[in-house]
Structure 1
């Protein structure tokens, strides 16, 4: 673990895995410590992963001002890390809600982004939502799973705001393409790794200005990869496809059988796809 100072003085941490050319990695959650990413299914064999713990998560300090948890206000943390690493340009990979932060960074500092990899990423920053109907579509794909019936009942409780802790636990398999011991252990770590109060502030009012972000990325020279999970409900592959249309140069890959954490479902496919994209970017 290594640390550096954000512009407001908050001490932030990052973790280095592997060797070679750096790949700056932004976690999702929102506001989950980067530990859940592991080595991204073995991607560290191809690049040195620079895994940032966002402020108030993992080994990074909590800021004096909680308002700085808002997504757009963390863009300068990413820029400070780039400068700390001494990189003129960065290859940037972001997962899930981290996609919004990566998009805002690319909009504010387009000249600093050499490539952008968005893994099952959110698109609120560019005004691309995903709907309840799309979530339902994804749930229906899992009808043959042994846990499906109980999970659907639990999801109804979640939707009606009557969910218990057991209900939240019961719907967890929907996030994974393969619900096994490894997925269960990964899910169990979520609570201790996530700063939920910060996560509530991450998309706070004013965080996103889609028209401005769209205008800024319209001329982005960086190549972009959007990797979606075939079984993921948030967002669905069609959401990634809509996002891909917003960039001058973007590639869409849908990983078969994958959920929201594709590097766990099929590490070989994930690593091969991302490594090949980075090699050609």
Structure 2
């Protein structure tokens, strides 16, 4: 497995899957091992996926300074990764919480991106509210799993608001996992269950610890981004909803939103073929 030393000598690992032009991939979670992305529904058949394990997660080393887990500090790891790969400009894909990291990177290094794909991205860095969250949760009320998952979702939101112990929050996340998938089938359950050993509690706790972005500055940086941006939103995803994804797109000069029907927070799991077709069409456009 390849490794490199980041700006502070922390050893970071990454995984190389597939063939074709390189696509740098940042995992969400936060702090979930990049292995959960798999081959992104078959995207590796056309692109070489370079899956970075963020510091303290997956196969990457634990840093000496725990404050470097914070997502705005991780921007320097992404830039160090680009330099290590020898890419002047890179195609970058980020999922979920890593959407915040990618947004911060794009604001600081707009000239280093060729294309940017944000899959169900986090929105804290840009100050966009998760509009339509309650309505998206209510829309799943006909599902067989709804009652216990809804109770867990409500408890999760309450626990997060009071900064509950990470173990309490993690258990509620797991119980509310059906909302993250278009179908709560065997494949989705296996994908969700793997999170318990793929996610680093310490790195996850530090990802947003003390995070207080200068939203105006981030938005100003993104306004200078000339690279095309694709935002993939699941039709059923409560956070971000398609409406929230469109608000993010409005902050970017060259952004488009693709809403994947019958999908939620992990669209490459819900419908791999459609996800791959959408992303490849974007990445190969002139």
Q: Same fold by TM-score, threshold 0.5 exceeded?
A: yes
- Structure 1 runs of 4+ aligned residues shifted over 4 Å read 162-168
Deviations 1:186-236 (A, max 9, x none): 111111111122212212224522111111111211000001000001111
For 1:151 and 1:138, the matched residues in 2 are separated by 13
- Secondary structure of 2:284's counterpart equals helix
CA contact (8 A) 1:71 1:207 kept: no
* Residue 245 (structure 2) aligns with: 240
For 1:129 and 1:18, the matched residues in 2 are separated by 36
CA contact (8 A) 1:41 1:264 kept: yes
How many correspondences in the alignment? Answer: 279
Deviations 1:93-148 (A, max 9, x none): 000010111111111111110111000001111111215xx222111221221111
* Residue 231 (structure 1) aligns with: 236
Q: What are the residue-to-residue correspondences of 1:241-256 with 2, within 5 Å?
A: 241-256=246-261
Deviations 1:73-93 (A, max 9, x none): 111111111111111100000
In structure 1, list runs of 5 or more residues that go unmatched.
none
Change (3 A) 1:159 1:104: closer
**What RMSD in Å do the two structures reach over aligned CA positions?**
1.7
CA contact (8 A) 2:55 2:69 kept: yes
* Residue 97 (structure 2) aligns with: 97
In structure 2, list runs of 5 or more residues that go unmatched.
none
- Which of 185, 190, 196 pairs up with 1:185? 190
CA contact (8 A) 2:182 2:263 kept: yes
Q: What are the residue-to-residue correspondences of 1:48-127 with 2, within 5 Å?
A: 48-127=48-127
Q: TM-score, normalised by structure 2?
A: 0.93
Deviations 1:19-52 (A, max 9, x none): 1110000010111110110000000011100000
